[in-house]
Amino acid sequence: MIPINYYIVLSAILFTIGVTGVLIRRNALIIFMSIELMLNASNLAIVAFSSAIKSFSGQIFVFFVIAVAAAEVAVGLALIVEIFKSKRSIDVDQLSSLKG
Amino acid sequence: MHLSESVNTGFLFLAPWLVFAPVVGLLINSIFGHKFSERMIGTVASLASGAAFVVSLLLAWSVSGSPEEALRWRLAEWIHIGNLNLDWTFRVDSLSTTMMLVVSGVGTLIHIYAIGYMHEDVRFKLDVGRFQRFFIFLNLFIAAMMILVSGDSYLMLFVGWEGVGLCSFLLIGFWYEMDTLARPSWANSNAAKKAFITNRVGDFGFLIAGFIMFYAFGSFQFDEVFAKVHEVPESVIIAITLFMLVGVAGKSAQLPLYVWLPDAMAGPTPVSALIHAATMVTAGVYLVTRSAPLYSSVHEAQEIVALVGALTALFAATIAVGQYDIKKVLAYSTISQLGFMVAAVGMGAYVAGMFHLITHAFFKALLFLSAGSVILGLERGHHHVAHAHHDKKHAKGKHALSKVEGKKEERGHGDSRAERSHSDSAGAAHGVEAFDPGDMRNMGGLRKTMPVTFWLYMIGTLALAGIFPFAGFWSKDEILLDASHHSQLVYWLLTVAAFFTAFYMGRQIWMVFFGEARHEASAHAEESKPIITVPLMVLAGLSLLGGALNLPFEGFHNLGHWLGHTLGEVESMPLNLQVAGISTVLALLAIFFSWLIYGRNPLKTGQVDPLKKPLGFLFTGMENKWFVDEIYQFIILTPYTKISYFLADVIDWKFWHDFVHETVIAGTYNWISNIALNDYADQKGIDAFANGLGVWTQNFSATLRKVQNGFVRSYALSVLLGVVFILGYLILK
């Protein structure tokens, strides 16, 4: 059996990659993918803990998260398409009209 | 209080009706009077007054059973503060019932007379609506006078005292928007104000006396005060009695406060008879008599009272000689006779004073009411003449109508009243020339046209002049007799006054009733109706027989004995032929002189008074009331006005308003609000703080705004840093 620390470390690495992607990339699609990566990093951690404490509730929880994430993807992609339609770009740095 | 258990009190329970009967009368008349006919109004008022008279009779009968003791009837609780306990208590003793009988008896006769008199008066003055008001006031007066005489304490007496003063004011100013000749003017209302204000001066004295009394005795109740007379220092009692004398001088028109009474003749004649001759003005005499235990214990005060009375008697009698107005002569005569009464009670001759009060009420009411009859007779004659004159041009009815309408129209322009008062032509324009029906120079020869009034007037005159056997002879003689025992000065002052009294009354008789008519109005004068003359006949009978109340013979001192129950032992003196002889001879001599001057050669139209030449400036003085009004004007009113103007202009306006209020208070306030509060505290303190807060907030937010750079990634970095910080804190804590 693989010790839980491995899963945690993997999850943390994936999450950090996601965060880094969100912070440094300008392409909205990449950022979106990075967010998915962070989401799945946390899913992995939850499933790992769930299996470690012998409880299904974490797995059910993750199941829901994946379902919601799918809906979120649909909304997010629709937003990106709309942004692209108006700006002809999906560079997030272009989207600064709310600047104070 | 309730001594009714042991003593048989008879009709004592009726005592409150002394006051309530006239009050009921005036309420009925004020609520329903506008629907009543004049006869009905007069009947209600007279019945109300008559009811008070009946109650007085029953009370007198009740008290006659045991006259030594005052009966009391406690009606209501009035003031209970600390150890001051005052109730509205009716005191029924021989003194108060005497006053009640005089007030309600004479009052009822005058009510009846007034029905006839006011019927014509309101028509001559073109305001019929005031008939009702007159009887309401008259009933109010009876009620107030009854409170005065039936009060059981000085404070209750004072309530009535002020009440009659109010009624006097209301009735003097009854025709408030005209003068005595019915010309538009404020003369009558000024007379009313003069009476009221002069009486205020007197009331001030009464009030001070009351304050001292409460301080010294701790009570206002008559018996409680009198019981402690000997425990209180004499100087305090002198102060009380002398301050009370000021009140007496005000109400009973004595020197130096008598000036209001002649002016009070502006009221309708029944008022002059009832209030300003027979009843109200005797309140001062009653007050001194009621306070007999106080006055009797201090001889100094008594002497002053007697001297004031005697001086007034002589002083006013001399003025009466020089007057031309029939009512003014009687007014000064009243002052003079009140002087007799005050002198009498001042000398401790309370019975003589009260006796003269009663007989004077009879014959002076008679004289005044007869004078009213004379005045009405002349008014009728005048209107008769005026109508006859106009009938040549106009149909009579049409003219009368147009005249009334014209007058009404004139009344309608009430705004221009003051303006009208300055032009005497306003009346003349409507065919009413300024004819004075009260001026004796317009009279003459009325003996033939008004025979009934003439004989009634003769009886009143003889009674006033003190001719045997009329009532005035007995009462005046008793005063003179007492004076001859007490003080020669007072005696001779009064004797000379009696001489003048007979003289001016003789002068009046000759001028009014004898000789030839000096004005066409008096030539056409008409006799009054029975409703006017019958009450006069009753009064004439009383003036004739009133002396029987207290004949100076053994066994006949009825009034003396009667009052003695209240006033203590009263010495009753037998007739002194010397005193009576001197006064009678002087009176006859005076009448003879008056015949020599006025009767033998009757005054002609427009002729100056025959006394003017031989007496010169003396007569001018008498004619002008010794210039007392002018002296008062000079000594009191002018400086008073000047002081008032000074106080108003300089002290109030310049100092108080301009300096203290405007400059000091408002200036300081403005300075504080403008400079200190506005400039410093508000603008530089509060405003600066509020503005600074705003500016700082703006600057701070401008700084913070830079964080909002619009780059999503930088926001995400902030979130990350925040998460890292929070987690770091949670983990490392």
pTM of this prediction exceeds 0.80: no
Buried b vs exposed e over B182-205: b needs ≥16 C-beta within 10 Å?
bbbbbbbbbbbbbbbebbeebbeb
What is the dihedral sign for C-alpha B288, B291, B297, B298? negative
Q: What is the arithmetic mean of pLDDT over B11-24?
A: 89
Determine contact, residues B323/B332, Cβ cutoff 8 Å. Answer: yes
Of B75-79, B621-625, B703-707, the one with minimum mean pLDDT is B621-625
The span from the CA of B705 to the CA of B211, in Å, is 85
Q: Which residues contact B118 (CB under 8 A, 6 or more apart)?
A: B38, B42, B131, B134, B135, B268, B270
Torsion region of B444: left, alpha or beta (phi above 0 gives left; psi -120 to 50 gives alpha): left
B731 shares contact with chain A (CB less than 8 Å): no
Contact B716 A93 (CB under 8 A): no
Q: What is the arithmetic mean of pLDDT over B268-280?
A: 88
**From the candidates B698, B700, B708, B711, which should be mutated to test the interface with A, based on the most A CB atoms within 10 A?**
B711
Residue B414 in this model has a pLDDT that exceeds 50: no
A83 shares contact with chain B (CB less than 8 Å): no
The span from the CA of B431 to the CA of B177, in Å, is 19
Contact residues, chain A, for B715 at CB < 8 Å: none
Q: What is the pLDDT of residues B660-675, one digit of tens each?
A: 888 899 999 888 888 8
Nearest to B716 among A23, A93, A100 (CB): A23
Residue A100 in this model has a pLDDT that exceeds 70: no
The residue that leads in pLDDT, B412 or B539, is: B539
The number of CA neighbours under 13 Å toward the Cβ of B44 is 25
The span from the CA of A57 to the CA of B543, in Å, is 132
| Residues in A 2-41 with any Cβ partner in B closer than 8 A | 19, 22-24, 26, 31
The span from the CA of B230 to the CA of B236, in Å, is 11
A92 shares contact with chain B (CB less than 8 Å): yes
Shortest CA distance to B335 belongs to which of B319, B348, B324? B319
Q: Nearest CA to CA, how far is A24 from chain B (Å)? A: 7
What token pair was written down for B420? 């009208």
CA dihedral A56, A62, A64, A65 (to 10 degrees): 160
Q: What is the pLDDT of residues B578-623, one digit of tens each?
A: 888 888 899 899 989 888 888 777 777 777 777 777 777 777 777 7
Residue B553 in this model has a pLDDT that exceeds 90: no
The number of CA neighbours under 13 Å toward the Cβ of B662 is 8
Q: Nearest CA to CA, how far is B725 from chain A (Å)? A: 15
Question: What pLDDT sits at residue B440?
Answer: 83
Residue B640 in this model has a pLDDT that exceeds 80: yes
Question: What pLDDT sits at residue A2?
Answer: 84
Question: What pLDDT sits at residue B602?
Answer: 77
Phi, psi for residue B417 in degrees, rounded to 5:
-60, -45
Of B303-312, B330-339, B412-421, B439-448, the one with minimum mean pLDDT is B412-421
Mean pLDDT, rounded, of chain A: 90
Shortest CA distance to B38 belongs to which of B137, B114, B142? B114
The span from the CA of B412 to the CA of B409, in Å, is 5
Question: Tell me, which fold does domain A4-90 have in CATH?
Answer: Helix Hairpins (1.10.287)
Contact residues, chain B, for A97 at CB < 8 Å: 710
Residue B410 in this model has a pLDDT that exceeds 50: no
Contact B710 A98 (CB under 8 A): yes
Q: Give B433's pLDDT tier (boundaries 50, 70, 90).
A: low
Q: What is the arithmetic mean of pLDDT over A77-81?
A: 92
Determine contact, residues B36/B28, Cβ cutoff 8 Å. Answer: no
Question: What pLDDT sits at residue B435?
Answer: 78
Nearest to A97 among B706, B710, B713 (CB): B710
Q: What is the arithmetic mean of pLDDT over B266-295?
A: 90
Tokens 């408002």: give the residue.
B666
**From the candidates B698, B701, B707, B713, which should be mutated to test the interface with A, based on the most A CB atoms within 10 A?**
B713
Rg (CA), chain B: 36
Residue B430 in this model has a pLDDT that exceeds 50: no
Phi, psi for residue B62 in degrees, rounded to 5:
-65, -40
Nearest to B705 among A19, A23, A100 (CB): A100
A95 shares contact with chain B (CB less than 8 Å): yes
Torsion region of B218: left, alpha or beta (phi above 0 gives left; psi -120 to 50 gives alpha): left
Determine contact, residues B108/B56, Cβ cutoff 8 Å. Answer: no
The span from the CA of B229 to the CA of B233, in Å, is 8
Q: What is the arithmetic mean of pLDDT over A18-26?
A: 90
Q: Give B397's pLDDT tier (boundaries 50, 70, 90).
A: very low
The span from the CA of B45 to the CA of B138, in Å, is 8
Question: What pLDDT sits at residue B570?
Answer: 67
The span from the CA of B454 to the CA of B371, in Å, is 10
Residue B398 in this model has a pLDDT that exceeds 80: no
Share of chain B above pLDDT 70, in %: 92
Q: Nearest CA to CA, how far is B688 from chain A (Å)? A: 28
Residue B404 in this model has a pLDDT that exceeds 50: no
DSSP designation for B10: T
Contact B709 A96 (CB under 8 A): yes
Single-letter amino acid, residue B622: M
The span from the CA of B551 to the CA of B473, in Å, is 10
Contact residues, chain A, for B723 at CB < 8 Å: none
What is the dihedral sign for C-alpha B434, B435, B437, B443? positive
Residue B409 in this model has a pLDDT that exceeds 50: no
Helix, strand or coil, per DSSP, at residue B630: helix
The span from the CA of B609 to the CA of B626, in Å, is 17
Contact residues, chain A, for B704 at CB < 8 Å: 100
Helix, strand or coil, per DSSP, at residue B227: helix
Q: In B14-68, which ranges are continuous DSSP H helix? A: 17-32, 38-65
Residue B428 in this model has a pLDDT that exceeds 60: no
Mean pLDDT, rounded, of chain B: 84
Q: Across chain B, which distance is largest between two alpha carbons, in Å? A: 144
Contact B710 A92 (CB under 8 A): no
Q: Identify the closest residue of chain A to B723 by CA–CA distance.
A: A19
Helix or strand (DSSP H, E) at B221:
none
Question: What pLDDT sits at residue B400?
Answer: 42
Q: What is the pLDDT of residues B292-319, one digit of tens each?
A: 889 988 888 999 999 999 999 999 999 9
Residue A75 in this model has a pLDDT that exceeds 90: yes
Q: What is the pLDDT of residues B119-152, one digit of tens each?
A: 888 888 888 888 999 999 999 999 999 999 999 9
Shortest CA distance to B115 belongs to which of B438, B534, B542, B543? B534
| Residues in B 659-718 with any Cβ partner in A closer than 8 A | 704-713, 716-717
Question: What pLDDT sits at residue B569?
Answer: 64
Shortest CA distance to B266 belongs to which of B362, B360, B331? B331
Residue B403 in this model has a pLDDT that exceeds 90: no
What token pair was written down for A7? 């899963």
Tokens 């003449």: give the residue.
B385
Nearest to A99 among B704, B710, B716 (CB): B710
Q: Tell me the sheet residues that pair with B81.
A: B84
**From the candidates B706, B712, B721, which should be mutated to test the interface with A, based on the most A CB atoms within 10 A?**
B712
Contact B713 A19 (CB under 8 A): no
Q: What is the arithmetic mean of pLDDT over B513-536?
A: 84
Contact B713 A99 (CB under 8 A): no
The span from the CA of A50 to the CA of A44, in Å, is 10
The residue that leads in pLDDT, B647 or B568, is: B647
Helix, strand or coil, per DSSP, at residue B79: strand
Q: Across chain A, which distance is largest between two alpha carbons, in Å? A: 53
